[in-house]
Amino acid sequence: MKKSKSLLDIIIEGTEDIFYIWKREMVKCFKDQGVLIFFILVPLGYPMLYAFIYNEEVVHEVPVVVVDEDHSFLSREFVRKVDASPDVQVIGYSNDMADAQQAMKEHQAYGILRIPSDFSKKINNINFWEQVHVQAYCDMGSMFYYKSLYSACTDVSLEMNRKIKIQRMGNTTTNREEEVSTSPIEYTNVALFNPQSGYACFLIPAVLMLILQQTLVFGIGMSAGTAVETNRFRNLVPINRHYNGTIRIVFGKALCYLMIYMLTATWVLLVVPHLFSLNQLDHPATLSLFALAYLLSCIFFAMTVSVFVRNREKPMILFAFFSVPMLFLSGISWPGSGIPVFWKYVSYLFPSTFGINGFVRINNLSADLTDVKFEYHALWLQTGIYFVTTCLVYRRQILMSRLRTIKKHREMKAKLAKESLVK
């Protein structure tokens, strides 16, 4: 009679199996070049590439062609001040709009500044108080060009407006009266947490968190595809006595991925921003707890969706397409208030939505866990949900493997019995 195992024996056996699966999964990760690329090389190099590309933060000296139809002192003053701004560089003048447009088509310039022929006439016509309009055209292939040209023209027009008002007031006013009259409401623009209004400060933290999720999905999916291809029954779970329990399989694999990505996340979230002097206002303890919840939710999410992977190449086809939409759905690149309710709920399926928003607030706004409790609790909720779905996925794989093994044994027995009858 088979002796029943005590609770202690079951715990010891389960622990040994967890570490056996962890060790085997670790060896598989470092022997598989494809998995190694996604787990190590991509997280090491991809953040550096992104940070290096956007390290300049803002675009300066955008080349602009001027079409000056007025040829007056005021029009030349306007052009000279626009050219003196750090954002715009006047590279030449055109006789008409056709020549200027040709320069933009050939990418010699990315903007056109057109000053109408009645520019100075309307400004100096104090009897009718006419307004004059300066036209600025920009290559919308990049919002940076538009922002630079628009900001420069706006600043120059405001400054010239102030001087024109003072001139029309005459010499009967004091300096204080002129200051109040030209600017009744004084305002100061302070860009909090991003003083240079740069692109990298708000985009790179979001990209870093998305890289962690996507590389985990790609690496775990590729490992699952390899397991399916090499398994005789085309299952995720190999035929091995140590792979005999759902919890121990999930824990063993998750422990392997977590240990690798604890180091990877340290590089991606701490070292890379420091190397490129990006905002880092976070507290190490706060970021560590938040990153732990994020990594676990990403790991179990990736293990759940890996059931749909039947070969090594499929993860790239399934998930690479969703990288950019996930960035938009997070509400960082595109305002969350402008996202329809349906897509907002769809975004809640992905850990990156909560991870990106929480990390940006912790890293850029010096928030603590109480300030990001919605995102933090959502990540732990996702961890629990995806842990359950992962267990269900692997339990189904174990049962399918057992059924196919039994079926195979029965077929072999039937074959042997048939051969013995023939003899």
**Last residue of one domain, picked from the residues 182, 210, 230:** 182
Q: Is residue 213 over pLDDT 90?
A: yes
* Number of domains making up the chain: 2
Q: How many angstroms separate the CA atoms of 265 and 44, rounded?
A: 10
Distance, CA of 255 to chain centre: 25
Same domain, 295 and 239: yes
In a domain, 193, yes or no: no
CA atoms within 13 A on the CB side of 229: 12
- Tens of pLDDT, residue by residue over 112-134, are 999 988 888 888 876 666 788 88
**Choice among 224-228, 233-237, 414-418 with the minimum mean pLDDT:** 233-237
Same domain, 136 and 275: no
| Percent helix, percent strand, percent coil in the chain, to nearest 5 | 70, 5, 25
- Tens of pLDDT, residue by residue over 17-60, are 888 888 988 988 888 888 888 898 888 888 888 877 776 667 78
Same domain, 235 and 132: no
Same domain, 165 and 266: no
- Tens of pLDDT, residue by residue over 304-316, are 988 877 777 766 7
**Last residue of one domain, picked from the residues 122, 150, 182:** 182
Same domain, 350 and 286: yes
Determine the pLDDT at residue 265.
93
**Domain assignment of residue 217, given as a range:** 10-54+198-413
Question: How much is the average pLDDT of 397-406?
Answer: 69
